[in-house]
A and B are shown apart, each in its own frame.
Chain A
Amino acid sequence: MTDLRRPRVLGQSPRRVDGPAKVTGTARYAGDQRVVDPAYVHLVQAAVARGVLTGVDVSAARLVDGVLAVLTPDNAPRLASTEDAELAAFQSHDIAFRGQVVAAVVARTREIARQAAALVHVEIDHESHDVHLSADRDDLYAPEQVNTGAATDTERGDVATGLAHSPFTLDQTYTTAWYNNNPMEPHTTTALWLDGDLALFDSTQGVHTTREATAKVLGLEPRHVHVIAPHVGGGFGSKGTAHVHVVIAAMAAQAVPGTPVKLALTRQQMFALVGYRTPTVQRVRLGCDADGRLAAIAVDAVGQTSRIKEFAEQTAVPSRMMYAAPNRRTTHRLAALDVPVPAWMRAPGECPGMFGPEVAVDELASACGVDPVEFRVRNEPAVEPESGKPFSSRNLVACLREGARRFGWEHRDPAPRAREEDGWLVGTGVAASTYPVTRTPGSSATIRCTGPGRYRVRIGAADLGTGTWTSLAQVAADALGVDFGDVELLIGDTSLPRASVAGGSSGITSWGSTVVAAAEAFREEFGADPAEGDEAGAEMPEGSDEYAMHAFGAQFAEVRVRVDTGEVRVSRLLGVFAVGRVVNPRLARSQLVGGMTMGLSMALHEHSVVDERFGHVVNHDFAEYHIATNSDVPRVEAHWVEEHDPHTNPMGTKGIGEIGIVGTAAAIVNAAHHATGVRVRDLPLTLDHFLDRP
């Protein structure tokens, strides 16, 4: 019977269930699905950032042999709902951002579609656009709430008084860049209609949420939309909500009755159409006493959103719970610009929001002469500072101590610019990581006995490459009290019971709790020796909000900056995390190392460069939008401390998909300061920051 407190399979590292299919190239992704004689779609995008579409001449495109249809705002069918303006394909002649889709060509081959798309002649009355983000704009506004539903502003005590009475204060502004999600697999949809039902093989983080969004836009009952996504080649949030290409694929398939269509975005198109992380401007004010105890924490965050759809990155939210201080305040303000719609990117809120404050802490610790590890330890709160709730578990201090031990922190000379090896300045730095434990309601699962001791577990969960095929089966095995090999897990299909989206690191918490509840229901009804065909199911149980639940971590970086050229390399990165129970160490390490690598990439390389004259990201390919290469990450280590949290969920897990990227950039920037004495507050950390100017 279920006993997750003494697990047998949880904590083991069975090989990936999907591994053989992936390494042999037989795993079918959305674009690989075999459909009979498909047509292909290529999108035409607006080349101005704001204006009114006055004409789309498709005559030349239509003349190309093999072109089957061209969709434009002039001929596309009306959609049932345009409430989500991002999804309202071809419903308006207004251009709200550069790269907005204005036409779609359907043709016999991918090449013909692309060729004909180039022949579509688009006329737009160009209006002056504005894509300039600045904290000094006079039209910044406070959104009603921020992403995750958190409050826009909070205030406790009196920051001004707290700062006035602090012998050490800091008031600095930090910026993070515009970043684009770039999973290896471009966003792809294969669509076909059968007797009024729509089937979508889609590259999505949630088959059911994609079904619901698409059904609403198309005016269908959700049961008439079938979404299938057995394998997804990375998402990082950009496949967490349906984007416009999904709707266009469905419309394109409708335009060529009886023919399935395939639509794969190009890498360049992804920079405008699948969401991105907003650039942020973070004013951080801190005040502390001579021992480094904080009296005031204030974070005022500014980000951008699109004019047609609001997304409010919760940048200041982590500062509400990180450190103790009697006086505190956080605010969020937005600029609504003529830009593509921002959305989720790995650890929205926490990732950019732990940059400014974690660099600020380093600066203040340095100012008052307290070691930055010790500074953080001294500001450890007893309860969640703003809510007053107890923590279900909080092991930031353990992570800092264990990380310091493994990294060799105790021998560190705090003086900046004091070490040089072979023409490279060397320094080390630390920053903290955190990520909330998220339970997303709305999942259910069924379990069926398929033979003696054999069970089939069904839930429409997603595997983004993260390992759900394996890890959720491990949860089921322990929940049923059987061997891993006796569980057959089925995920990634709307014909399975509904599952919540893979987002907010909530997958195992939400789906795992649901599977455990289903196992309990099954055993209760059928006992330990069920008959073949016995089946039971359950919905995700309600959670308690008695506790504040967060994962924590500490990241340590060694950075080298070349004296003559300022080139920056991260020679070592070490993270220690407290993430509850680790379901599968092999997969967990992969998630944490991957997150840290992405954090390194954010620190040193990634930067979507917007040319404000045109309004778009001009470095929109992998030659120019740099992501860390293997050579950039010579040594990345992820470790975790033992953590038993009885409150998060029956498995005691906390979610590990995102915390690895949180704090990395700050640790690297802090190490670069230690190496060079130069304090960089604006990402990315490029060599020009360190070059002595004449």
Chain B
Amino acid sequence: MDCIFCKIVLGDLPSYKVYEDSRVVAFLDVLPISPGHTIVVPKDHAPDIESVSEEDFAALALAVKKIGRAITEGLGVKGYSVLLDNKSAANQHVPHLHFHVVPREEGDGLGRWPQGCYNEGEAEVILKKITKNL
């Protein structure tokens, strides 16, 4: 088993675990974007959103909600960002699906990606392609 998150789930690799339930484990990222940056993973190995079960994905979201509240109240931060990178093109470095919960403060310097706009007709084109794939 090469998956570092599976090893953490099994206790074969040490981690700073903050939460566990029947489907989910959460632990601190040792290279945090901000103090308290937590990784939330399903216990059952799934590389991406396409493979994770609906039940596990829902359990992850509920765990994120609990951990987010704990981070806000426990660390006194005003907010947090929730991030999931799906596939390596989206910067997924560990191929075991995981949410990041990143504590945030005003003026923390964590920027937003630049936003663009659609020219006339472009939104309709992509919308048709999305709904065709549903």
Chain A complexes with chain B = no
